[in-house]
Structure 1
């Protein structure tokens, strides 16, 4: 089954480590603050990209990027929006099994049994002491439907990305 690459807050920086970590993904979701079309072009050379516009995505190139997006992959509906606070404004989120957000630059994982919420962290320039990371969503066959496993990838040799995989 496929792996979905999750990346956010690149802020116009595409790290070689990020490209290497995403190699082999069936698709990629960028959860906003892309800050330049070159980032999306680099990711698109790896796999199809679904991107949402973040608060720092401005200008003509960003106007065509939606505020929210939905992707179906291997029987899983994935909803993406930049800021988790905006999730409630979009009824499409209610049908998602996975919700991907960015904005905080903090890797995070929460599962309430119905919805798996993932913030892959920031793959762009370091902000404060936060880790530089992205996430991989591994989708595998399961007895009750697709099984999901999240793997956070440390991109900058930080001591630890402070989120355990599920």
Structure 2
């Protein structure tokens, strides 16, 4: 199962991002979406799960959850925009993967029992940070994350 991970689009959905997400069976947007049209475009590719970022405002954004607890193929994922909002008890709750955005800095890091992923920013370039998104591959009990530079 290939899950697309995208964050911090800030109103810009690049054609390269759409191409990189092709073939995903689920997509997760970790916030700072920018406008509802981004969600509509992503939902055309695969079922979409999204959280509200600190820069998402308006009625469309108010309808989005602050965080998500998802499960695919027996793997539990927790999604929230800001890393500072990650609860301390996730591993005890059976979560295996934490997905955050906000910093625009791509990251894949194992911290104890939790795999932390920040897909980086797929929107407008910020400072000299790369423009990226992520993929999470689930194969039975095997997890593999990768970052894709756009």
Give the alignment's Cα RMSD to 1 decimal: 1.4
Q: 1:122-143 deviations in whole A, cap 9, x for unaligned?
A: 00000000000000001113xx
8 Å Cα contact 2:29-2:48 kept in structure 1: yes
- SS of equivalent residue, structure 1 residue 69: strand
8 Å Cα contact 2:108-2:146 kept in structure 1: no
- Which consecutive unaligned segments of at least 5 residues does structure 2 have? none
- SS of equivalent residue, structure 1 residue 39: helix
1:76 paired residue number: 75
C-alpha distance in structure 1 between counterparts of 2:16 and 2:32, whole Å = 18
8 Å Cα contact 1:32-1:54 kept in structure 2: yes
Residue-pair matches, total: 149
C-alpha distance in structure 1 between counterparts of 2:111 and 2:81, whole Å = 20
More strand per residue? 2
Q: Does 1:3 align with 2:21?
A: no
The structure 1 segments of at least 4 consecutive aligned residues displaced by more than 2 Å after TM superposition are 91-95
- TM-score norm. by structure 2 comes to 0.95
- TM-score norm. by structure 1 comes to 0.86
Q: 1:106-126 deviations in whole A, cap 9, x for unaligned?
A: 001111341100000000000
- Which consecutive unaligned segments of at least 5 residues does structure 1 have? 156-166
C-alpha distance in structure 1 between counterparts of 2:103 and 2:138, whole Å = 25
C-alpha distance in structure 2 between counterparts of 1:24 and 1:70, whole Å = 23
